[in-house]
Structure formats: C-alpha cells, structure tokens
Amino acid sequence: MEGTRELSLNLKSKIKSLKSPAAGVRLRRALLWLSLVLVVSTLVALWVGYQRLDFAALQTDERARLIFFGLRLPRVLMAGVVGASLGLVGAALQAMFRNPLAEPLTLGVSGGGALGASVAIAFGAGARVAGLPVVFVAAFAGACLSVVVVYRLARTGATVLPGALLLAGVVVNTVAAAGVVVIQYFADYSRALQILRWTIGSLDVVGFDLIWRMLVFLVPGWVVLLLLARDLHLLAVDEETAQSLGVNVRRSERLVYVASSLIVGVTVAVGGTIGFVGLIVPHAVRLLFGEDVRVVMPCSFVLGAAFLMLADAVARTALGAGELPVGAITALAGGPVFLWLLRRQQRYAAL
Amino acid sequence: MSDDALIEGRGLRFAYADGSPEVVRGAGVRVVRGRLSALVGANGSGKSTIIRLLAGLLKPSAGEVLLGGVPLARVPARERARRVAYVPQGVSTVFPFTALEVVLTGRSPYTTRLRFETARDLDAARAALAAVDATHLEARPVTELSGGERQLVALARALAQEPECLLLDEPSAALDLKHRAGLIRHLRRLRDSQGMTALVVTHDLTLLDPDFDCVYAVRLGEVAAEGPPSEVLRDDVLAEVYGDEHVRARRAFGRTFVWSEV
C-alpha cells in the first residue's frame, strides 16, 4: 500500500514538472517521454501479428525475412506515417478553429478527400499526371473543397461558430459518403470492388514504394504546419489579439487549409478514412503537457504515430487469422472520447 | 504638456463590406503621447471600428492612420506590435491556457517563429501581471476566471508587449464597481509612472472626469466633440452626441456624474 502511494505521489510530481512554465523546457521533456513511447510502440507493433516475430527464423528463413521486411515493417511504418499526420492535423485544426472537437473527420475534410479519391479510382487510378498519382491529387482537391465549404458556412465576421462548424462538417461527410456509394454503383465491377475495399480503410502495403511517394507530399505539409505552430498558438488564444500581435491571420489560415488538405487527402487516398486519431491524440497531449499549441503540435505528431501503430496492431491481431479495419478500432476508441468532450464542453451542446 | 500625437487618424472612413453603409465617416482622432484619452458615443456610433482602425486591424477605405508620423500601413506588423497593444472587447478562449501563458503571448513580437520565450520574456510577463495586481492568477486557467480577472489578464498581456500605447475596447464593460475603479487606477498609475499613452473606448462617462485628459465623442462615425472631460461632459454637448435631450452632467465630489433622466 505504502509503495503504491509513494509511486502515485512520485508520478504526480513528475507530471507537475512536465507542466513547467517555460514552454521550451516542457517541449523537450515531452518529446523525450514520447519518443520512448514511440520506440516501445514500434517494437510491439513489429512483434505482434498473425505470426509472432521470430528472431531465429528471421536469420535463417528467407520467407520469414520477406514477410517481415516486405510486409510487416512497411505496414508499421505506414501506420506511423498516417498516425503522425492525423495527430498533427488534428492539433492544428483545433487551434485554428478554437474548437477542441475539430479534427479531419468531424470537419468533413476526410469525407471530401474520400470522395475525391473514389472519383479518381472510378476513372482509373493508375494514371499519373506529371508523375503524381491521380488519386492523391483528387483526394487533395476533394479535401480542399470540403474545408472551404465548411469554413465559409461556419465563419461570420471575426468569429467561427463552433456548432455550425461541426454540423457543416457532418453534413459534408454524409454527402461525400453518399457520393462515394453512388460512384461505386456506377463504376464497373472490378473498380467498384476496389473502391469498396478501399473505403473500409486499411494500412495494407507491400514494400516501401508507396510510403516514399506519400512522403513527397506529406513532408512539405508537416513542415508548413510545424512552422505555423506559433501563429496557431496565438490564434488559439484569440484571433483579434493574434492579429494585433502581428500574425497575418488570413495567410496563416490559408496555409493551414492547404497543408491540412494535402496531408489528409494523401492519407485518405492510401488508408481510407481513419477517424478520431486527430481528436484523441492532441487531447491526450494537452492533458499531459498543457495547452501550449507549440508543444501540442509536435507532441501530437509523435504520439499520433505511436497510437496508430498500436491501433493497427490490434486490428491485425484481434480476429486471429482475419483483420479488422483500423478505422473501426480508432472510431470505437475515439467516438466515446468525442462524446465525453462534448459533454464537458456544454456550450457546444447548446450549439 | 506637449501636443505630440503618437497615433493619429485623419479623415478615416470605413464600411465592413462593399455597398454596406459606412460606419466611420471622416473621423479624426489624435492620441496624444502621455495622455489618457477616451472614445465615447452611442451604441453603433463607430467607436470600436475607429479603435480597430487605429490599431491597424482594419484598413480605412479613405484617410490614413499615422504612428509617430509614419503611415501605419508602412509599419511592419511586428514593429507595430511592439509599439501599440490592442485589447479587444472580452477575450474568450475555449482552451484552458494559464493566465501566464496568455500574458506570455504578449512577448511574441520579441521572439521569433521557432524560438520559445526566454527567461527575460518570462520576467516581463510576470512584471506585467504584477503591474495589474494579478500575480496570484498566474497559474489559473483563464477559462475559470471571472470577467474582471480575465480583463486584468488581457491588460497584463498588453503590458507585456512593453508598448508605447494601449488601445482598449470597452475594458470596463464586464466589470463591477470595484474593478472598474481598479482599472482606472491602473491606467492612471501607468500614465503617471511610465508616461503610458492610452485610448479607451467606454460607456462609463462618470469615470472620465478628472482622471482622463481628453475625450472624443463620436456620433454617426464622426467626432462630434473633443476636449478635456470638463468641456465634453456638458448637457448640450452630450444631448447632441447621444441624440437624447434627457442626458445630464453634474459636478459633485470632484467628479462629473453623467446620467440620462428616465
């Protein structure tokens, strides 16, 4: 008993030290802790699966090596890349809209991206324009369009109506989902099947090729968002104040839309809609390390990677031989968190 | 006292959208260095728009704003933020930032995009909180503060910018008697000890005399009267400004009391 109490006291003072007033110190400490979490998550995700990792076999068996380096490792990496992306975008969108319930799914960005991607698949996704996979470009365009629609609807003058924002996001998602279904019915059989497989959402990947191609789009998006962390921090406190402190509000907002749409579009085009990662992850980071957006964004990036690797590990193993869509796992975990936040944020319940 | 305008708006005109009626129609305001000035007028008279124009948050459709004689449009936003601090009507955030975190945002004109605040910035933020007697709020989440406490935090944030001039939009609107007086005391002290310049939008006419040096009375987007409180706070002037002949201004106990007969 004594031992556990001591442990909890110890933990409490640890957590308190994580909330040190100097944001720079807090970020460094937080990233240190989170990289540990990331390493452990990566090892766990690599370890578990339909077949447990077997070091002996890995050294002797050619097939085991092929499975590990050609399938398992790329998949874990893909989960990390997608999770980091969604965590970062969620943190950025929440700050920009001053709404803790904002994330790619609730704002309709994922829906728009999914519609764009399915249009591309229906018309033959293999094609490339100027070396870029059409499906990425289409998903990016769809995501952009939905961000603009949702934002225009919710903004009046200098304020963004929080209720209108989420409602518009939900409606855009619903319309986009209907669009995907319609396209599926009109597309020829094999492509319809392709769309269906893709809408379920999976991080299945063979080799590293696709991951490198994604990174060409994702890295610039990540860099833009992280460079805007300070502007977003000021915007999260108050928009007019941010402007008076020298933030070019319109320009920062535009950059955040474009970067977020790019990131979400590409992840949706590859992995389908994976909801609520951008909601749960930044929220967990805030509880642990405080509200400073300059801390929350990089931390959500790292924790997002760890979270989706673990969620995907669950998806791969829960059914034994079969596999659950990872989007179902994140939605099952994230839906209740969303509702809990909604309840806490009574003002949103009243719209 | 010198008559050197720190911020000057000349012939300002502004409409919020093309085709919508102008809310500011040729207003001229001089915020004189080292003086406490007030901007008063009826609801919808354009006071808040004028102070936003002076803060550089809006661009006038005609006329210009000068900061220390230089057109504000040519002053980089970062430099402007070091010289002029603006406090909007009621700062609301949904995220539970601590008061210190909010005050520290006032240091952003002195840090760069990729740098966090230094120990010097932290000291400046704490000094700003102390200047408004709000040190005890430092670690409290702003979402849990009362309206008056939030106003103090917003004022401290503005002071952390170490500005030459404060532009405050209805700072006393959410405050009770005691906190209103406290706010005026803080402003008076800042003026007397540091030579701080301030322009305050307010509906509290009774707070003006004798603590304010200068009053601009706005009517329909124009400055209808200006001068020391004793000249502006008069029955005939106020009747014109507010379009209400029931307004009364009387001196007693060394102050001028203003009310409208019911």
CA distance between the termini of chain B: 40
In whole angstroms, what is the distance from residue B54 CA to residue B60 CA?
Answer: 9
Q: What pLDDT score was predicted for residue A270?
A: 85
The nearest alpha carbon in chain A to B107 belongs to A245
Q: Kindly give the pairing relationship between strand B197-201 and strand B24-32.
A: unpaired
Contacting residues of A for B67, CB less than 8 Å apart = none
Whether residue A100 and residue B56 make contact (CB cut-off 8 A), yes or no, is no
**Separation in Å, CA of A249 to nearest CA in chain B:** 10
Ramachandran category for residue A275: left, alpha or beta (phi over 0 → left; psi -120 to 50 → alpha): beta
In whole angstroms, what is the distance from residue A297 CA to residue B155 CA?
Answer: 28
Does an H or E element contain A128, and which? strand A128-129
Q: b/e for A268-278, b at 16 or more Cβ within 10 A?
A: bbbbbbbbbbb
H helices of chain A, in order, are 2-18, 23-47, 55-60, 62-67, 73-97, 109-122, 134-154, 162-186, 189-200, 209-227, 229-237, 239-244, 249-271, 277-289, 293-317, 326-344, 346-349
Contacting residues of B for A292, CB less than 8 Å apart = 97, 101
Q: What pLDDT score was predicted for residue A351?
A: 37
- From first to last of the 351 residues of chain A, give the pLDDT tens digit: 555 666 555 555 555 555 566 888 889 999 999 999 999 999 999 998 777 777 777 788 888 888 888 889 999 999 999 999 999 999 999 999 888 889 998 899 999 999 998 888 888 765 555 556 788 888 999 999 998 898 888 887 667 777 888 889 989 989 998 999 899 888 888 888 878 777 766 788 778 888 998 999 999 999 999 999 999 999 999 999 999 999 999 999 999 989 999 999 999 888 888 889 999 999 999 988 999 999 999 999 999 999 999 999 999 888 877 788 888 889 888 888 888 887 776 554 333
Nearest to B85 by CA among B117, B145, B128: B128
Q: What pLDDT score was predicted for residue A10?
A: 59
Nearest to A87 by CA among A309, A315, A276, A330: A276
Q: What pLDDT score was predicted for residue B98?
A: 93
**Separation in Å, CA of B97 to nearest CA in chain A:** 6
In whole angstroms, what is the distance from residue B14 CA to residue B27 CA?
Answer: 10
**Separation in Å, CA of A4 to nearest CA in chain B:** 29
Average of per-residue pLDDT values in chain A = 85
Q: What crossing angle do the helices spanning A229-237 and A249-271 adopt, rounded to 10°?
A: 110
Whether residue A22 and residue B122 make contact (CB cut-off 8 A), yes or no, is yes
Contacting residues of A for B101, CB less than 8 Å apart = 23, 237, 290-292
Q: What pLDDT score was predicted for residue A348?
A: 41
**Separation in Å, CA of A243 to nearest CA in chain B:** 7
For A217, residues 6+ apart whose C-beta sits below 8 A from its C-beta are: A136, A140, A262, A263, A266
Whether residue B57 and residue A244 make contact (CB cut-off 8 A), yes or no, is yes
Express each pLDDT in A20-34 by its tens digit. 668 888 899 999 999
Contacting residues of B for A227, CB less than 8 Å apart = 113-114
Q: What pLDDT score was predicted for residue A349?
A: 37
In whole angstroms, what is the distance from residue B72 CA to residue B64 CA?
Answer: 8
Whether residue A291 and residue B101 make contact (CB cut-off 8 A), yes or no, is yes
Amino acid at A248: N
Q: Tell me the C-alpha to C-alpha distance, in Å, between residue A240 and each of A243, A251, B7, B91.
A: 5, 14, 19, 9
Express each pLDDT in B108-120 by its tens digit. 999 988 889 988 9
- Do A274 and B115 touch, CB atoms closer than 8 A? no
Q: What pLDDT score was predicted for residue B174?
A: 79
Q: What pLDDT score was predicted for residue B71?
A: 96
Per-domain residue ranges of chain B: 5-260
Residues with pLDDT less than 70, chain B: 1-3, 91
Of A24, A240, A345, the CB nearest to B116: A24
Sign for the pseudo-dihedral over CA of B105, B108, B114, B119: negative
Q: What pLDDT score was predicted for residue A247?
A: 95
Contacting residues of A for B157, CB less than 8 Å apart = 241
Would you tell me which CATH number, out of the four given (3.50.50.60, 1.20.58.100, 3.10.129.10, 3.40.50.300), belongs to the domain B5-260?
A: 3.40.50.300
